[in-house]
Every structure is written in C-alpha cells, then in structure tokens.
C-alpha cells in the first residue's frame, strides 16, 4: 500500500511538471481571428453610431461621444480603415471614407497640436489603402496649419493652449506622434521647412524630456522668448518625477517612427534606450501590460493601461525591423507577448459588450479622474495597427 501511495504521488507530480498550464502563444492565425472579432464588434459599432459625432469611450454603460475637434477624432475612422484592409469589405471602406471626410475642417485648425492624430490616422490610412488623391490636399493643408504652432526659439511645436496661468509654452511628449504628418507632407509637397521643424522638435524633445534612465516627463514648459525651461511636469501621471506609462509609449513610438521616416541614427538610438527601459523594468508585469504609471505606489493593486500596451506593441514591432539579431528578437517577442495578452481575457471584450469597443481596461487621466479603467478609441486603433504589423512581419519570415 505504501509503495502504491508513493507511486501515485510521483505520477501526480510528474503530470504536473510535464503538463504545466502555459499561456497561449500568439500566431498569425490568432491575429487574424482577433481581427475577425474586431470586425464583428465594429459592424455593431457602425450600426449604433450617430452620423454627426465620434466615439470617445464607454463608461458606466453609457457611450461617451466627442466632436471632430476632440483630439481622438481620427482614431475611429482609422480603425475602420484597418478593418477594411483586413476584410476587403466595402462596408468598412464606405463608412471609413464617410467618417474621414467629416474631419475635413480639421485641416484649418491652428489652435491644436493634435492635427497629426486627427488627419494622419484617418486621411493617411485612407490614402494608403485607396490612393484617393482627394485626401492629399487636406493632409498638406493640415500639416501647414500644425506648423504654425512651431516656435524656432524653443525649437518645438506648442502643445496646449489651455492653463495659461500654469504654463507659458507647454510641450508634451505625446506631440512626437504628430510629426509623421509633417514629414509626409514635406515629402509630398517639397516643403523642407516641415521636415526641418519636425526633426528639430524631435531633437528638442530628446534633449529635454528624458531623464538619465530614459524615462520621460510628460510636459516641459518653455519661455517662448528665450527658449529656457520653466518647469518639467508629468500632468497625467502619479507625480512629476514618475514614469507615466502612456507617456513612455508615445515617446517610444515617436522616436522609432522618426528614425523610420528620416533615417536619423540618434532617433533610433533613443528609441532603443526607451524600449529597454520599459522591457527591463522590474514593475512590468509578466503579461507585458503595464500599470498606468510605473511608479504608482499602489502596484500591484492598481490599474493596468491597455492603451499604453497597444501603442508599445505597435512601436516594438516597428523597432524590431530597425535592429538585428537578439535585439530584434527581444522587441518582436515582447510585442508578441503583449498581443497575446491583449487578444485574451481580461483585456479583450466579448461580442456585443464594452460599447462595441475591442479592448477593455485603459486609463486616460487617473489624477483627473477621467476615463479610468474604460475602453478608449486610441487603444483599439493602435491594437489594430499592431495586429496588421505583426501579420506582415510574420509573413515575411
């Protein structure tokens, strides 16, 4: 009897060791299945969406909308374009075109730095997929409107116009994302000023936004007459000296993108340092979905930020094409883990829930008690972009 008990214990132990519960690996098939699910969600989204307003989030069983001048207005049409790219279905093409054209007045906006988000995610994807030349003039005009916010003394594009009692000339790290429109417009129009100011803005951000560990401040405020720094803040993070997760994501994506479109080696070097800061951070969870701020004192009992993970995963896939060997494998592998996590519970919605958004558990502005633990339109957008990048890269192997 004793020998039988020992044998049974050994068998249970053996089975436990030989058949561990592994996290599901990711694949092209899984990515395509997730895109199929996203298409189902967004068909429901289209059916429920008013024609004259854009989705922002879904909170407390209520859809929150915004007008076309809200900074996220380009993400919904951009997501529709990605779903058209995946499905080839004119249903998505027609809706994407309609939603994109609603943003035409944004080309004349000069009081907002997010014109790049608004136009490049919508018109830019539409042009890429259809070649529709009617989109070109809108994008070039929008880029020139954005360029009016550049101050050559500071060497940056002004971000916010609000809170003038707090900041003189605030520049946020998010602004790196709006440079892609300017670089594209410079190449399309031959206006080298647009390229030059974009490169200078990136170098100014590299020099002044980053700490010695390659984490980023959110806001740097300048004296617009002298270019001197007034103060450095992290407005949407835990504290001024903390590493707000989405701010790190914007910087990583922005510098990788700027290397891709300009070839400047310093931008690649900086993107690598940001990526290593993130991926080697002791507070990055095993599933690679970051907490809303890497320095939150409540870790691990605090919110994850799926929007940061979506942006980072897309950026890492981009960055993996710019380096070689084990470094490329590190970035691609981390992005793959993120996409596997995002494509599963608890982050992926179920059909018909979550206001028809794809992803759950993003954080917009926790200190301001705004958009906390909710779906966000830009989380969906960069997730769809990352899925497309993943499939493209895997199919080239």
pLDDT digits (tens, 9 = 90+) for 181-230: 999 999 999 999 999 999 999 999 999 999 999 999 999 999 999 999 99
Three-state DSSP state, 108: helix
Q: What is the pLDDT of residues 64-114, one digit of tens each?
A: 999 999 999 999 999 999 999 999 999 999 999 999 999 999 999 999 999
Annotated active-site residue 295? The verdict is no
* CA angle (264, 268, 272) in 5-degree steps: 165
CA-to-CA separations, 331 to 24, 120, 248, 318, 326, in angstroms, rounded: 19, 25, 15, 9, 9
Q: Is residue 44 part of a domain?
A: no
pLDDT at 386 over 80: yes
Q: What is the pLDDT of residue 9?
A: 34
Q: What is the pLDDT of residue 140?
A: 98
Q: What is the pLDDT of residue 15?
A: 31
Give me the mean pLDDT over the 313-318 stretch: 98
CB 177 within 8 A of CB 116: yes
**Which ranges in the chain belong to alpha helices (H)?**
2-18, 28-48, 75-87, 90-101, 115-119, 125-130, 134-147, 179-189, 192-208, 245-262, 265-279, 306-320, 325-342, 377-396
Q: Which residue bears the tokens 């996409």?
A: 339
- Overall number of domains in the chain: 1
Give me the mean pLDDT over the 50-72 stretch: 95
Q: Assign residue 93 a region (left: φ > 0; alpha: ψ between -120 and 50; beta: otherwise).
A: alpha
How many CB atoms lie under 10 A from the CB of residue 188?
15
Q: Assign residue 366 a region (left: φ > 0; alpha: ψ between -120 and 50; beta: otherwise).
A: alpha
- φ, ψ of residue 236 in degrees (nearest 5): -105, 5
Percent of the chain surpassing pLDDT 70:
94
| pTM for the full predicted model | 0.94
Q: Is residue 177 part of a domain?
A: yes
Q: Is residue 99 part of a domain?
A: no
Given 174, 293, 318, 380, which residue is catalytic?
Answer: 174
Q: What is the pLDDT of residue 163?
A: 86
Domain that holds residue 252: 149-396
Percent of the chain surpassing pLDDT 90:
92
Which distant-in-sequence residues (6+ apart) come within 8 Å of 219 by Cβ?
Answer: 159, 167, 170, 171, 172, 232, 233, 234, 235
Give me the mean pLDDT over the 155-173 stretch: 95
Given 97, 112, 114, 305, which residue is catalytic?
Answer: 114
Q: Is residue 381 part of a domain?
A: yes
Give me the mean pLDDT over the 309-322 stretch: 98
Q: Is residue 202 part of a domain?
A: yes
Residue among 139, 125, 57, 117 at smallest CA distance from 97: 125
Annotated active-site residue 114? The verdict is yes
CATH number at residue 247: 1.50.10.10
What are the tokens at 216?
């980023």
Query: For all residues of the chain together, what is the average pLDDT?
Result: 94
Q: What is the pLDDT of residue 4?
A: 41
Q: Is residue 45 part of a domain?
A: no
Distance of alpha carbon 53 from alpha carbon 66, whole angstroms? 6
Three-state DSSP state, 359: strand
User: Among 244-248, 335-339, 393-397, which is the least confidently predicted range?
Assistant: 393-397
pLDDT at 7 over 50: no
- How far separated are the first and last CA of the chain, in Å rounded? 56
Q: Is residue 319 part of a domain?
A: yes
pLDDT at 252 over 50: yes
Q: What is the pLDDT of residue 303?
A: 98
CB 293 within 8 A of CB 245: yes
Q: What is the pLDDT of residues 10-43, one digit of tens each?
A: 333 323 333 333 345 899 999 999 999 999 999 9
More confident residue, 10 or 306: 306
Burial of 67 (0-12, 13-18, 19+ CB in 10 A): exposed
Q: Is residue 80 part of a domain?
A: no
Which distant-in-sequence residues (6+ apart) come within 8 Å of 134 by Cβ?
Answer: none
What are the tokens at 159?
């971000």
How many CB atoms lie under 10 A from the CB of residue 48?
11
């Amino acid at each position: 009897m004793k020998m039988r008990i020992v044998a049974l214990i050994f068998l249970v132990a053996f089975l436990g060791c030989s058949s561990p519960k592994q996290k599901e690996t990711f694949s092209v098939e899984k990515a395509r299945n997730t895109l199929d699910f996203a298409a189902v969600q967004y068909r429901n989204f289209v059916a429920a969406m008013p024609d004259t307003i854009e989705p922002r989030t879904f909170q407390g069983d209520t859809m929150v909308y915004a007008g076309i001048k809200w900074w996220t207005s380009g993400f919904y049409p951009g997501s529709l374009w990605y779903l058209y790219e995946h499905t080839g279905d004119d249903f998505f093409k027609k809706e994407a075109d309609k939603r994109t054209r609603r943003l035409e007045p944004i080309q004349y906006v000069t009081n907002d730095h997010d014109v790049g988000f608004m136009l490049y995610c919508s018109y830019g994807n539409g042009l890429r997929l259809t070649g529709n030349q009617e989109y070109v003039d809108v994008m070039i005009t929008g880029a020139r409107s954005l360029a009016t916010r550049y101050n050559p003394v500071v060497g940056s594009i002004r971000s916010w116009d609000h809170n003038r009692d707090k900041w003189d000339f605030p520049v946020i790290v998010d602004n790196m994302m709006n440079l892609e429109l300017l670089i594209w417009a410079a190449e399309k129009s031959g206006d080298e000023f647009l390229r030059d100011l974009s490169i200078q803005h990136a170098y100014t951000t590299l020099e002044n936004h980053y700490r010695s560990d390659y984490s980023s401040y959110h806001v740097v405020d300048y004296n617009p007459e002298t270019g001197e720094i007034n103060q450095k803040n992290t407005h949407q993070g835990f504290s001024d000296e903390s590493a707000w997760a989405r701010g790190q994501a914007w910087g990583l994506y922005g510098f990788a993108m700027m290397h891709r479109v300009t070839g400047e080696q310093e931008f690649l070097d900086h993107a690598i340092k940001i990526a290593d800061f993130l991926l080697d951070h002791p507070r990055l969870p095993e599933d690679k979905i970051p907490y809303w701020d890497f320095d939150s004192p409540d870790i691990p009992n605090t919110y994850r930020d799926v929007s940061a993970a979506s942006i980072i995963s897309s950026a890492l896939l981009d960055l993996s094409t710019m380096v070689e060997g084990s470094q490329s494998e590190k970035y691609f592998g981390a992005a793959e883990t993120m996409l596997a996590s995002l494509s599963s519970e608890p982050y992926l919605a179920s059909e018909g829930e979550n206001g028809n958004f794809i992803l759950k558990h993003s954080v917009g502005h926790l200190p301001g008690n705004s958009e906390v633990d909710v779906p966000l339109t830009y989380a969906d957008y960069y997730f769809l972009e990352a899925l497309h990048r993943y499939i493209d890269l895997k199919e080239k192997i």
